[in-house]
């Protein structure tokens, strides 16, 4: 998921350089959504992994 966030971030940068503001905004929005999703999943897996198995 972090891979897709990085891909959409690069697409947003390239689109911003060429001046396609609509494409840049949508790519940045998708990248932000994927990044937040990755962070939530990372925190959940961290909390679940720290549980003791007694």
- pLDDT tens digits, residue range 10-45? 887 787 777 666 666 777 788 888 889 888 988 888
Task: Identify the DSSP state of 2.
Answer: H
> Given pLDDT bands bounded at 50, 70 and 90, which one contains residue 54?
low
Q: b vs e for 25-52, b when ≥16 Cβ sit within 10 Å of the residue's Cβ? A: eebbebbeebbeeeeeeeeeeeeeeeee
């Amino acid at each position: 998921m972090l891979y897709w966030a990085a891909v959409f971030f690069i697409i947003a940068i390239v689109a911003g350089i060429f001046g396609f503001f609509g494409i840049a905004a949508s790519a940045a929005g998708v990248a932000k959504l994927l990044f937040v999703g990755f962070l939530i999943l990372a925190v959940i897996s961290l909390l679940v992994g720290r549980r003791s198995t007694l």
